[in-house]
């Protein structure tokens, strides 16, 4: 029998929409990796009654409950009190916990304000969980059939404490079997059409589980396979992946959970090559994505945002006559942009993007969503156009960035793909 888990994200800011609960997704993935099934994720406010009820109910249904948030020293941090109430015990001052708070402040060369003592009042019988990443200690406590783990809300602290305290306990007490995951990403097919191809694999009772999520035109097919152990789970996952691969070969862009920009930066490093980008309609989004990856400085030369026609001439040397005759969104201009870019930046790889993001500015000949790309790779240039669905400015821009990243990845892992 599979052990059951529930996750509780605690905080008014989450309920009112001022922050988004990202902790739960991380916790769910990590728990399922150990073979525990996450049945329910609850987002609940700091209101004492709601919080106590949510904790009590989750602990009545699951074998392990992981809660995040509400462990700070202020009046609105109520997880300790609510857990005590849900477990039918008093709050007690925990000297170990207080020493942990003092030690954290001492490391920063400070003494804590008196209000921090609140953090050392834990439910009677609870065990303190050391927080090496911040002030708020966590705790764990048995309530009903469940072991409750209360962790801080700050994502960085939560991640560290989950790994240090929760996952080892779960692996030892509840771990039965294991999960393996795999992701296949597609471009150029709609969700419904993709769903039709995989319908039988996506049935509710199908094992391994197969699901589709859409993000700016890229579909992710996710496989979650359960097995008796890691090797068994991986084998089941691989078998389903092979089946899916055969059905979607024509639209498969790449596989794996690693973000595209991270693959591109890594492959550039492996190739000992550098990259420059020239962006018009994407306005620097591509450069921002690439420079968001640690280590980009070793491979990313520069990004230029040549928005106005005059800038395409000044920065990239695109002839004004070409712009006048062909328009900025055209094959010759995209080509001239990347040629000028590579010459000036001295990079081995370059990409230029010019298109019409909308909602205005389209014409019959050049509708909104039309984007020209030019990819330069070690002296060879390939150009192509795409007509993206006019689903708004953000969609066209994000979709164009995706297209560029997929093309760059392809050029790096399969140099033969750039001919011309």
Binding residues for ligand ATP, per CB under 6 A? 9, 11, 13-14, 19, 21-24, 68-72, 77, 134-136, 152-155
Q: How many CB atoms lie within 10 A of CB 141?
A: 24
The smaller minimum CB distance to ligand ATP, of residues 58 and 381, is found at: 58
* Nearest approach, Cβ of residue 126 and ligand ATP (Å): 15
Q: How far is the CB of 21 from Mg ion (least distance, A)?
A: 15
User: Which residue's CB is nearer to Mg ion, number 134 or number 144?
Assistant: 134
Are 249 and 324 within 8 A, CB to CB?
no
Rank residues 73 and 144 by Cβ distance to ligand ATP and give the closer one: 73
Q: How far is the CB of 18 from ligand ATP (least distance, A)?
A: 8
Nearer to Mg ion, 118 or 386 (CB): 118
Report how far residue 287's alpha carbon sits from residue 281's, in angstroms, rounded to the nearest whole number.
Answer: 13
Q: 248, 246, 187: which is closest to 407 by C-alpha? A: 187
CA–CA gap between residue 304 and residue 287 (Å, rounded)? 8
- Between 119 and 282, name the residue whose CB sits nearer to ligand ATP: 119
Rounded to the nearest 5 degrees, what angle is found at the Cα of 82, between the Cα atoms of 80 and 84?
A: 70
The helix (H) or strand (E) run that includes residue 234 is: helix 230-248
Shortest CB 257 distance to ligand ATP, Å: 20
Tokens describing residue 18: 């001022």
Burial of 15 (C-beta count, 10 Å sphere; 0-12/13-18/19+):
middle
The stretch among 65-73, 158-166, 184-192, 407-415 that binds Mg ion (CB under 5 A) is 65-73
Residue 101 or 374: the one with the smaller Cβ distance to ligand ATP is 101
* Residue given tokens 């004004």 in the structure block: 320
Region binding Mg ion by CB under 5 A among candidate stretches 56-64, 76-84, 363-371, 374-382: 76-84
Contact status: 138 vs Mg ion (CB under 5 A): no
User: Which among ligand ATP, Mg ion, none contacts residue 186 (Cβ within 5 to 8 A by kind)?
Assistant: none
Cβ neighbourhood burial of 246 (10 Å; 0-12, 13-18, 19+): exposed
Q: Name the minimum Å distance from CB 9 to ligand ATP.
A: 4
Question: SS3 sequence, 114-148?
Answer: HHHHHHHEEECCCEEECCCCCCCCEEEEEECCEEE
Residue 9, binding choice from ligand ATP, Mg ion, none, Cβ under 5 to 8 Å by partner class: ligand ATP
| 376 near Mg ion (CB under 5 A) | no
CB 336 within 8 A of CB 320: no
Residue 136 CB, nearest approach to Mg ion (Å): 7
User: Which residue number, 3 or 68, has a Cβ lying nearer to Mg ion?
Assistant: 68
In this chain, which residue has its C-beta nearest to ligand ATP?
A: 153
* 66 neighbors 16 (Cβ within 8 angstroms): no
**Which phi-psi region, left, alpha or beta, contains residue 395 (left: φ > 0; alpha: ψ -120 to 50)?**
alpha
Task: Please calculate the CA angle 165-168-169 and round it to the nearest 5 degrees.
Answer: 80
Size of the site for Mg ion (CB under 5 A): 2
List the one residue from 56, 72, 227, 376 that touches Mg ion (CB under 5 A): 72
Give the angle subtended at the CA of 350 by the CAs of 344 and 354, to the nearest 5°: 100
Tell me how far, at minimum, the Cβ of 363 lies from ligand ATP, in Å.
Answer: 44
Nearest distance from C-beta of residue 195 to ligand ATP, angstroms: 30
The least distance separating ligand ATP from the CB of residue 321, rounded to whole angstroms, comes to 53
Which one of Mg ion, ligand ATP, none interacts with residue 23, CB within 5 to 8 A by kind?
A: ligand ATP
Tokens 């009042």 -> residue: 121
Q: Helix, strand or coil for residue 28?
A: helix
Residue 340 engages Mg ion in binding (rule: CB under 5 A): no
By the rule CB under 5 A, 11 interacts with Mg ion: no
| Nearer CB in complex with Mg ion: 77/261 | 77
Q: Which residue ranges make up the site for Mg ion (CB under 5 A)?
A: 72, 77
């Amino acid at each position: 029998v599979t052990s059951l888990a529930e996750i509780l994200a605690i905080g008014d800011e989450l309920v009112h929409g001022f922050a988004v609960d990202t902790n739960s997704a991380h916790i769910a993935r990590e728990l399922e990796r150990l073979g525990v099934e996450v049945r329910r994720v609850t987002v609940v406010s700091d209101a004492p009654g709601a919080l106590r009820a949510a904790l009590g109910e989750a602990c009545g249904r699951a074998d392990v409950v992981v809660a995040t948030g509400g462990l700070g020293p202020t009046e609105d941090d109520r997880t300790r009190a609510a857990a005590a109430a849900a477990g039918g015990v008093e709050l007690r001052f925990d000297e170990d916990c207080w020493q942990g708070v003092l030690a954290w402040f001492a490391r920063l060369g400070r003494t804590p304000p008196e209000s921090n003592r609140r953090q050392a009042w834990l439910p009677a019988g609870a065990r303190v969980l050391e927080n090496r990443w911040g002030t708020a200690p966590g705790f764990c406590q048995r309530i009903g059939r469940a072991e409750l783990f209360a962790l801080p809300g700050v994502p960085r602290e939560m991640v560290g404490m989950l790994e240090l305290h929760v996952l080892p306990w779960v692996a030892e007490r509840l771990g039965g079997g294991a999960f393996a995951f795999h992701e296949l990403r597609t471009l150029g097919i709609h969700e419904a059409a993709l769903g039709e191809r995989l319908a039988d694999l996506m049935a509710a009772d199908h094992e391994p589980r197969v699901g589709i999520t859409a993000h700016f035109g890229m579909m992710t097919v996710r496989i979650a396979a359960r097995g008796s152990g890691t090797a068994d789970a991986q084998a089941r996952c691989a078998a389903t992946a092979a089946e899916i691969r055969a059905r979607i070969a024509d639209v498969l862009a790449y596989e794996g959970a690693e973000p595209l920009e991270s693959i591109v930066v890594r492959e550039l490093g492996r190739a000992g090559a550098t990259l420059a980008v020239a962006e018009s309609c994407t306005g620097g989004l591509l450069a921002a994505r690439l420079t968001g990856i640690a280590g980009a400085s070793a491979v990313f030369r520069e990004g230029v945002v040549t928005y106005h026609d005059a800038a395409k001439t000044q920065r990239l040397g695109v002839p004004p006559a070409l712009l006048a005759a062909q328009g900025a969104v055209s094959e010759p201009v995209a080509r001239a942009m990347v040629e000028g870019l590579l010459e000036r930046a001295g990079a081995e790889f370059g990409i230029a993007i010019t298109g019409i993001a909308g909602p205005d500015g389209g014409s019959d000949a050049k509708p909104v969503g039309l984007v020209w790309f030019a990819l330069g790779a070690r002296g060879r240039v390939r150009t192509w156009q795409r007509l993206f669905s006019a689903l708004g400015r953000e969609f066209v821009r994000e979709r164009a960035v995706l297209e560029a990243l997929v093309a760059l990845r392809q050029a790096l892992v399969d140099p033969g793909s750039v001919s011309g």
